[in-house]
Amino acid sequence: MGTADDVLRIRLTNVLHPDIADDVRAELHHWLIDQAKQLRDSRGSARAILGIRCAENDRAGRELLISGGFALARHERDLVLAVPDEPPAPALPPGLVLTPVDERYDELARLAHNEAYADSPTAVRPDRRTWPQHATGHPRFLPDLSCLVLAEADRSDNPVAAFLFALADGSTDTPTAVLHCLGTRAPWRRSGLATAMISQVLHRARSAGVRRLRLKVTDSNHSALALYRKLGFVESGQGFAVLMRQLTPEADEQP
């Protein structure tokens, strides 16, 4: 939940048994909407936007949401890659070096992150205060599987050309690392930096006994999808759709 431009943003979450009856599901849905309206009113907001995730194979759930005034905002793909026995060697153009994440570069990595994600409408761009919990201070941060690319002779005042921060995935029995955020600043794109960082992670993952890489990507992010497909990532089937609904007092009469 958060507020931006006087609009209260509420994320609805629920976990339903796959065999739940349609009428129970509908009742729960209406109850959640009522709770959201009460929250909006208690906060004194005139407008709220509800967001909800729906598993990509849950057609009935999506239809219920759409009939209740939600509209599809985007799909989040969940991609996985088995760590190969012999990962490709990381290769970088001259003048660039792969280096472990290092606290000396922490603020420069944050600036590089926010610059790389500047055009991404859904990305979080942390400030100095929230950066640690997004990256190196995250409770599941994997320093050995994270890296930076530094430009030796810099083309700007920030030598961090690219970054990759990985997290442990505690949700599966297969030892898995999540590529949590990964980006290349615009002047260095299409030079193989993201490919080199992922190759490096695959090598480290192999040595650390990690068997699989996983990541989430919005389906409108064509460059990232092209990168991951080229490297052999495939859909896990655990992606989801994000649906949104306006919650204004005028729309309260909707089902």
Ligand X SMILES: CC(C)(COP(=O)(O)OP(=O)(O)OC[C@H]1O[C@@H](n2cnc3c(N)ncnc32)[C@H](O)[C@@H]1OP(=O)(O)O)[C@@H](O)C(=O)NCCC(=O)NCCS
Provide the CA 240 distance to its chain's centre, in angstroms. 12
As given in the structure block, the two tokens for residue 44 are 């004194």
Residue 191 in tokens: 């030079």
Which residue stretch of 85-93, 96-104, 131-139, 176-184 sits at the interface with ligand X (rule: CB under 6 A)? 176-184
What residues contact 17, with CB distance under 8 A and at least 6 apart?
A: none
Give 52-72 as a 3 state SS string. Answer: EEEECCCHHHHHHHHHCCCEE
Asked if 189 interacts with ligand X (CB under 6 A), we say: yes
CB nearer to ligand X: give 50 or 193: 193
> Using CA atoms, how far apart are residues 196 and 18, in angstroms rounded to an integer?
41
CB of 231 to ligand X, least distance (A): 8
Using CB under 6 A, count the residues that bind ligand X.
22
Decide: is 75 part of the binding site for ligand X (CB under 6 A): no
Beta carbon nearer to ligand X, 44 or 121: 121
Closer by beta carbon to ligand X, 49 or else 179? 179
Of residues 70 and 105, the one with the C-beta less far from ligand X: 105
Q: Does 247 bind ligand X (CB under 6 A)?
A: no
Report the nearest approach of ligand X to the CB of residue 146 (Å): 14
Residue numbers 136-175 binding ligand X by CB under 6 A: 162
Q: Which is nearer to ligand X, 116 or 241 (CB)?
A: 116
70 burial class (0-12, 13-18, 19+ CB within 10 angstroms)? buried
Q: How far is the CB of 61 from ligand X (least distance, A)?
A: 25
CA 62, 67, 70, 73 torsion-angle sign: positive
Q: Could you give the string, one character per residue 208-237, with x where binding to ligand X holds by CB under 6 A and - elsewhere?
A: -------x-x---x-xx-xx--x-------
- Are 244 and 66 in contact, with CB atoms under 8 Å apart? no
Which run of H or of E encompasses 217? strand 212-218
Q: For ligand X, give the closer residue by CB, 162 or 205.
A: 162
Considering only 18-26, 81-89, 180-188, 203-211, which stretch makes contact with ligand X by CB under 6 A? 180-188
195 binds ligand X (CB under 6 A): yes
52, 83, 92, 116: which one binds ligand X (CB under 6 A): 116
How many CA atoms, within 13 angstroms, populate the side-chain half-sphere of residue 97?
Answer: 7
Of 45, 114, 120, 248, which lies in the binding site for ligand X, with binding defined by CB under 6 A? 120
Residue 182 as a binder of ligand X (CB under 6 A): the answer is: yes
- The strand pair at 212-218 and 176-184 is best described as parallel
Burial label, 173 (beta-carbon count in 10 A; 0-12, 13-18, 19+):
exposed
Contacting positions for ligand X (CB under 6 A): 116-117, 120, 162, 182-184, 189-195, 215, 217, 221, 223-224, 226-227, 230
